[in-house]
Amino acid sequence: MLRAYFDRSELPKYGIAVVAGYLSHVDLWDRFEPDWRKILRLEGLEFFHMADYVARQGPYKGWSDRRRLKVIKQLISVIDHVSLYHFATGLRTTDLDALIPKNQQHRELPPYGLCAICAAAGIMAWVRDRGSPSPIACVFESGDEHGGQIVDAFSSAKRKSDELDRRLLSWSFEDKRKIWGLQAADLLAYEAARQAVLNPGLRDHPVRQSLLRLLRRTRYDSNFLSIDALRKILFENGPSGDAI
């Protein structure tokens, strides 16, 4: 069985919403967890949170540059050894607002739910292209105020797509402080959102060096949804792997 960990990052100032994360086999995730925990334990950390790390606040306050670089490299190395596939899907909220008024988005696909189901559809397409019959379990952060968007988006998509219904085994919500795969996804979502500000689609603007460190070994698909892509998903094909 395959498991994907998702996290979101939003930059309201720029109207950017992103969902990103990692896919791998369940047995590889089982190997990942003790290695991730060991790094955190040696540094006196209960869990890893990218925004606090970058801001040098909380448990990261007072860390030297050398220590910061050492820890982030160690964490990325652990991810590299288990992840089969990195993914990120984002959009401009102003594009979505132009297609569906905000007060109606809860009845369609609001930003977080839309990014999440499109990311899941992209994972499904990647797995399908490799001829794998493995079902996919999707894991999100519990307690997130937008969690209801996930339930609505996934329930609706499974009703509309036989392949999504067949391949998406489950979606669940877990405590990020205790689930190491969610902490890894948090790291990628942070970087993907900030890259999206520079250039949606990662085509014209150089990729952030901090993001490049995360992309050294594993296949990475970044899908920034243009307004035309959003229109197609919302009003034509829906969020299938082919539609995005």
- With tokens 């942070």, the residue in question is 190
**Residue 83 counted as domain residue:** yes
Residue 133: per-residue pLDDT: 83
**Residue 241 counted as domain residue:** no
**Residue 243 counted as domain residue:** no
Q: Which helix (H) or strand (E) holds 7?
A: strand 2-11
Q: E strands along 12-150, which residues? A: 16-25, 85-92, 136-141
**Residue 69 counted as domain residue:** yes
Residue 47 and residue 37 in contact, taking contact as beta carbons nearer than 8 Å: no
Residue 210 contacts by C-beta under 8 Å, 6 or more apart in sequence?
191
Chain centre distance of CA 185: 6
**Residue 137 counted as domain residue:** yes
Residue 186: per-residue pLDDT: 95
Beta bridge partners of 224: 90
pLDDT tens sequence for the chain (244 residues): 999 999 999 998 889 999 999 999 999 999 999 999 999 999 999 999 999 999 999 999 999 999 998 999 899 999 988 988 999 999 999 898 888 877 675 555 688 888 998 999 899 888 989 888 889 999 999 987 778 888 888 888 888 888 888 888 999 999 999 999 999 999 999 988 888 877 544 344 444 455 455 555 556 677 888 889 889 888 876 665 444 3
Parent domain of 22 = 2-235
Please classify residue 107 by burial: count the beta carbons closer than 10 Å to its beta carbon, then call 0-12 exposed, 13-18 middle and 19+ buried.
exposed
Residue 214 and residue 35 in contact, taking contact as beta carbons nearer than 8 Å: no
**Residue 242 counted as domain residue:** no
**Residue 49 counted as domain residue:** yes
The domain that holds 17 is classified in CATH as 3.30.420.10
Lookup: tokens for 70: 């050492």
Total domain count, the chain: 1
Entry pTM: 0.87
Lookup: tokens for 210: 């901090």
Residue 224 and residue 196 in contact, taking contact as beta carbons nearer than 8 Å: yes
